[in-house]
Amino acid sequence: MLKILFFGDIAGSPGRKAVKQELPKIMESEQPDLVLANVENLAHGKGVTVKTIEELMRAGIQGFTGGNHVFSKKEFSEQALRKYSELIVRPGNIPDTYAGSTAVKIETAKGSVLLGNFLGQVFMDRQFPEAVSSPFSGVDEWLNSHSEKFAAIVVDFHAEATSEKIAFGYYLDGRVAAVLGTHTHIPTADAKVLSQGTAYITDVGMCGAAGSVLGVKKELSLKRFLTGERVAFDIPEDASSAELSYVIITIDEQSAKAISIQAVHKIVGLR
């Protein structure tokens, strides 16, 4: 049995602190074979950098997924996506002019795991600067081009609309071991194994500051809603507690199908 731990969107330093603090305890109790995380908001809430990815690698995270914000630190993000192209997967249904890999293969004690990342199209048009092509036809092509045998295929579906997310889950049922929703930062209570053996959740949730709006300072978010002004968002760096959201999936590595998925959502005090 292959056990995979996946953290939802890690949002800035409160998210990184929460993961670094809690991961040793989770490792001890769960003993996963592979630890993954969505990192589109890793560096101060938007994008990845070499420094922040290395910080998580030292903490024990072995593979990373992206999203609409993964490139937001411009050349710093591109540098990280190139340097760690064997560990970080960026969305597969965006123009191939973007830096980074669209598939990552990670060796575990139980066999090779293929990791993919796709963006949704519904309500996402203002959240990514270029046209996003269909994740449905995109994932078909992607699976065709990675047809070798894997112990598990894990797809992070980074999307806003719950309907598009569950439809994508059914579309991939039996073809991948897990479809894990990310992006909204709000965990959903619908973790389940679909009828053909795919573990599914609409959204894993985030690892980020508690008492925030999706990881950013609530006062700034409120100001934007109250005034309609384009307020620059910021991370509450001094947060004393954080939300920690992750899933634990068990997979039969022979059939590459899921046995179980458990979603965890908790608030942890930051030391």
Q: Which residues are annotated as a binding site for Fe cation?
A: 9, 40-41, 68, 158, 183, 185
Pick 99 or 259: Cβ nearer Fe ion: 99
Asked whether position 198 contacts Fe ion by CB under 5 A, the answer is no
Residues 120, 135: contact at Cβ < 8 Å? yes
Q: Which residues are catalytic?
A: 69
CA distance 196 to 170: 9
Q: Binding residue for Fe ion (CB under 5 A) from 52, 65, 68, 245? A: 68
- Binding of Fe ion at residue 183 (CB under 5 A)? yes
- Name the residue nearer to Fe ion (CB basis): 3 or 69: 69
Closer residue to Fe ion (CB): 76 or 174 = 76
Q: Where does this chain touch Fe ion (CB under 5 A) — which range of 61-69, 86-94, 108-116, 253-261?
A: 61-69
Q: Closer to Fe ion by CB, 7 or 200: give it.
A: 7
Nearest-approach distance from CB 138 to Fe ion, in angstroms: 17
| Residue 67 contacts Fe ion per CB under 5 A | yes
Spatial CA neighbour of 4 closest among 244, 259, 268, 203: 259
- By CB under 5 A, the count of residues binding Fe ion is 6
Alpha carbons within 13 A on the beta-carbon side of 165: 26
Coil, strand or helix at 248: strand
- Say if residues 214 and 183 touch (Cβ distance below 8 Å): no
Q: Is 41 in the site for Fe ion (CB under 5 A)?
A: yes
Spell out the alpha helix ranges (H) of the chain. 12-30, 50-59, 75-83, 135-144, 162-172, 218-227
Whether 51 contacts 45, CB under 8 Å: no
Per CB under 5 A, residues contacting Fe ion are 9, 40-41, 67-68, 183
